[in-house]
Amino acid sequence: MTIKKIVHLVLLALVPVLVPTISSAQIKVLGKSIILPEPAEGSVYSDGVELAQNTRSGETLIVWYPTGEEGIVGRIVTGNAVPKPFTIFSKPQKPIDVFNGEVDLQATYNPVTNEYLVVHSEGHEDSTGQFGKIIAMRLDAQGRRKGNPIDLTSRFSELAFFDNKSRVLKFNPINGSYITFSHRHTKPAQSTTIGVYEQLTSKGKPARRPSLLDWITVDGMKWPADELRWPSDFTFLPSGKMLMYAMPSWYDPVRNLTELDYVVANVDPINQNQLKNLRPEDWTVVTRLTSPFLPPLGKEGAVLNLLSPDSPILYFTDNKNAMGQKISTDGKLLGHSFKALNSPGSKKRLFVTGTAFSAASKGVIGLLIAIDDPGWPNGPVSVWAQQLNSKGNPVGPSKKLYQTASNERIDFDKLFALPIAAGDGAARFVWYGLKGDSAGKTGMLKLDISVP
């Protein structure tokens, strides 16, 4: 089988074919379990945990940084059993500060080779002058390490970095490679934060020299205002292009943007010069918020979903509602934005945290997850679900799936669609949420969800 044929099959597996919309059905929670009951240092920050789904089997890899003594571990979740941990990265030689976001775990699955790629950051330069590194490791489908750790820490002669952080990592099904965005802080004397875009081979190794992206900033303090934070998410189109969304780093009076608006751009992931030279006019504005809001810790209130080869949708949180905006493959808006979550029994603002679509035998069924959040550090927090049809529009009423105790919060969550068995008319999903309470106790909650 040729590589081109394999890539075509992978795309078909990742993107459901549109069929007539099915009627509204009741969202059901089939099971609830605590997968990771043990406490974890710094787990109130989403940097200390990451998940990736095996789209062949439906299993989930959970990558976790439990303490500063054990290194970084993983677990393969099958069913509701508490999985046994295995070591991905041994105890680091230099201390990792989870609370300052120095783990920055990233994980993704490669369906062509049936393996995972996990990346983490070691953090700042230490007292001996050693740079913190960005390290990658390949894992097979059972979680066994393949080969040696891969150093992704880029060295640029024109800059001396003292802080390296991995931000976004994804598998590119078009050519079987990986794409990663990271940001680097230069030496204090230079005082610059800069973005780095890098293409990796199917084995997780650098494919070419990375590109410095001087339009990326991190802390919202860089000027001029047309610069952006690192891309929050991106998806690959069958054309080979990449659609990504980001947020401005600062208030822009010229374009009437705030640091909490959303913008999208269509780029060629192979053309590093295009990425390096993106201008403000290359980005399409999706939202123009009229009043500020504060998303939950570690969240930005938006997800980008490739519903079909020709209909990407950005689901996002505006001033009042969970919304959807259809986008053309060249990054332009299609029509007006629409309300994506129907009349929940909550008066709190709801933040979109995940969407997934499943090609069941009765038709394409989608699910949107939104979390209401009273603001740090208060609880309780409720998790809401909304069924979506094959066009990405809401169907029927939303449903509250879960509510935390008054002293608990949801600090990290992800939603996956499970593989459909032949003849199965129900769509099945799995949702994971990292809970934390005021006493410092944590746990990974797992909900098994069905839409008949």
**Position of tokens 């509510």?**
403
What pLDDT does residue 34 have? 80
What pLDDT does residue 19 have? 34
For 269-348, strand residue ranges (E) read 284-285, 302-306, 312-317, 322-326, 338-339
pLDDT lower than 70: segments of the chain: 1-25, 36-47, 67-70, 91-103, 123-132, 154-166, 183-194, 214-230, 248-260, 288-301, 308-310, 319, 345-346, 373-378, 440
Which amino acid makes up residue 70? E
**Position of tokens 């379990």?**
33
Please state the φ and ψ torsions of residue 144, each to the nearest 5 degrees.
Answer: -80, 140
What pLDDT does residue 232 have? 74
What's the mean per-residue pLDDT of the chain? 75
What pLDDT does residue 288 have? 62
Reported pTM = 0.84
What pLDDT does residue 447 have? 95
What pLDDT does residue 244 have? 85
What pLDDT does residue 429 have? 96
The answer to whether the CB of 24 falls within 8 A of the CB of 317 is no
Which amino acid makes up residue 35? I
Q: What does each C-alpha distance from 247 to 82, 233, 333 come to in angstroms? A: 37, 10, 16
Which pairs with CB-CB distance under 8 Å and at least 24 residues apart come from 91-97?
92/122, 94/122, 94/123, 94/126, 94/130, 94/132, 95/68, 95/123, 96/65, 96/68, 96/122, 96/123, 97/123, 97/124
The answer to whether the CB of 73 falls within 8 A of the CB of 85 is yes
Q: How far apart are alpha carbons 83 and 77 in whole angstroms?
A: 6
The answer to whether the CB of 113 falls within 8 A of the CB of 202 is yes
What pLDDT does residue 49 have? 83
What residues form DSSP beta bridges with 267? 242
Q: How far apart are alpha carbons 382 and 400 in whole angstroms?
A: 7
What pLDDT does residue 107 have? 94
The greatest distance separating any two alpha carbons of the chain, rounded to the nearest whole angstrom, comes to: 64
What pLDDT does residue 135 have? 85
Exposure string for 337-375, b = 16+ CB within 10 A, e = fewer: beebbeebeeeebbbbbbbbbbbbebbbbbbbbbbbbee
What pLDDT does residue 375 have? 60
What pLDDT does residue 133 have? 75
**Burial (Cβ within 10 Å: 0-12, 13-18, ≥19) of residue 279:** exposed
What pLDDT does residue 383 have? 93
**Position of tokens 């199917």?**
202
CA torsion, ordered 408, 434, 152, 150, to nearest 10 deg: 140
